[in-house]
Amino acid sequence: MRLGLRLAWASVLLGAIWVGDVIAAPLPLPPSIVPAPIESARGARLIKLDRLAFRLREGQVWGKGGSWLVCDLAPAPLYWKAEEQDWDLSRFAAILDEEAAQLGLPTGGGNLFEASTPNGSLLVGVAVDNIETRLCVFYPDVGAERFRGEMILTIEWQIYDPLQRRLISRVKTRAGARLRSEVVDGIDRLLHGAFRENARAFLADDDFRRSVVTDPGAPSPVAQQWPPLRLTASGVQPRPPAAAAQSAVSVLSDAGHGSGFLVSSNGEILTNAHVVGRSKYVKVRWTDGTEALGEVVRSDPRRDVALIKIAPPEGRAPLRLEQSPPQAGEDVYAVGTPLDEAFEGTITRGIVSATRVTDGLRFIQSDVTVNPGNSGGPLVNSRGQVIAITVASFQPGRTPTGINLFIPIADALSALNIQVRD
């Protein structure tokens, strides 16, 4: 990390000799912040450092430096040279992960479903607005110069939710680090040390904690914008799993195609938010080829569920919903339109493998076979009752593993502020 340090250190030394009455005291560092433990940290969303930017102006003074003999006498200004920067984002990301792990927050290394979970991670951007530095350089008889000193960073942290496609929080921090002994990589150590102190301040911030910590299965804040929608389940009888295909649909939108299923005789259909994408209107196709125009009336990208409204369909029976959690080992059946629209109404069989919480959200895990296009379709039990919605498949290298994730139907209803009455 060069940080624009192409200085004529001999000139710095000469300047110090001629103007020896100017003294630069060590920089006073802001107090260190030790983040308090986070309650329910295991249920928090994964955070990932996505980008790093330095917003200093070309030629801006970002510090002062001098030779070790007269380090605090007439230090020379250090000017910012943008073209000399060479950032290694992985090191900064590792520092943030290390500090997050100290609080028990989930990190990428321990999240089996990181690559396939569509609700995804919160992305963190770092904008360094200012640098304050005092450097002392030491010239050994042999080898590279060594540095010590202090560095303070002023950072704006931006938290971006890719599902909501917006910034959800901005956090300002100012913190620094000190090196008391000269080392060859002193500038890097100061930069990374100052970044670590800022990361701790960021992780301690109330806005950050409100953004990252969620209660699994709790109603999404998005749901508060909608009035309660009450669906009546009276008259909806359990059916054999094979009959569920008659109430399943293919959903065609600007985002491609996926699956869905009828949950009321009034024409309400549940699917995934990522299936409808940004579309206001979608095409709904039944297994007999009949089509209808649907309007996306509710969508929660974080829980990845959406509600489509079509005209009340004649002769179509909604599926009964079972909100009690299933037991491991229970037989389940996935219904949907995998891979191609020609395969609509496909039914596959498996068992419930486990219940998981990842990124603060509950999922049912099953080995039932699903593929792209199954998203949004129902997962039903042996009585033909919907227990979950298909959402993701863990397929590293596009190889099926039998590890698939489904949104519990109770959580899907809660996210969309839907109530079901018998």
Could you tell me the residue ranges of all domains in the chain?
Answer: 9-211, 221-421
With residue 290 as reference, give the H or E element that holds it.
none
* Residue with more model confidence, 216 or 300: 300
Is residue 157 within 8 Å of 119, Cβ to Cβ?
Answer: no
Q: Name the band, by pLDDT with cuts 50, 70 and 90, for residue 399.
A: low
How far is the C-alpha of 391 from the C-alpha of 181, rounded, in Å? 54
Residue 165 has a pLDDT of 61
Residue 274 designated active-site: yes
* Residue with more model confidence, 217 or 46: 46
Q: Name the band, by pLDDT with cuts 50, 70 and 90, for residue 145.
A: confident
Residue 257 designated active-site: no
> Which position has the token pair 């913190």?
175
Residue 163 has a pLDDT of 56
How far is the C-alpha of 136 from the C-alpha of 134, rounded, in Å? 7
Task: Using the predicted structure, report yes or no on whether residue 361 has a pLDDT greater than 60.
Answer: yes
Choosing from 300, 304, 359, 411, the catalytic residue is 304
Mean pLDDT score, 357-370: 87
How far is the C-alpha of 73 from the C-alpha of 95, rounded, in Å? 34
Is residue 50 within 8 Å of 124, Cβ to Cβ?
Answer: yes
- 297 contacts: CB under 8 Å, gap ≥ 6: 307, 308, 309
Instruction: Tell me yes or no: is domain 9-211 CATH 3.40.720.
Output: no
Beta-bridge mates of residue 388: 379, 408
Residue 192 designated active-site: no
Any idea how long the chain is? Answer: 422
Residue 394 has a pLDDT of 76
Give the amino acid at 51: R
Q: What is the DSSP letter of 364?
A: E
Instruction: Give the three-class secondary structure for 118.
Output: coil
How far is the C-alpha of 277 from the C-alpha of 43, rounded, in Å? 26
* pTM of the predicted model as reported, rounded to 2 decimal places: 0.56
Structure tokens at 312: 């009340």
Task: Using the predicted structure, report yes or no on whether residue 179 has a pLDDT greater than 70.
Answer: yes
Residue 293 has a pLDDT of 93
Residue 352 has a pLDDT of 95
Choosing from 253, 259, 264, 375, the catalytic residue is 375
Choosing from 257, 274, 279, 359, the catalytic residue is 274
137-141, 225-229, 258-262, 296-300: least confident range: 137-141
Mean pLDDT score, 319-345: 92
Instruction: Tell me yes or no: is domain 221-421 CATH 2.40.10.120.
Output: yes
Q: Name the band, by pLDDT with cuts 50, 70 and 90, for residue 381.
A: very high
Residue 43 has a pLDDT of 59
Query: pLDDT tens, 51-109?
Result: 999 999 988 999 988 876 667 666 788 898 876 555 778 899 999 999 998 888 876 54
- 44 contacts: CB under 8 Å, gap ≥ 6: 38, 105, 106, 212, 213, 214, 359, 360
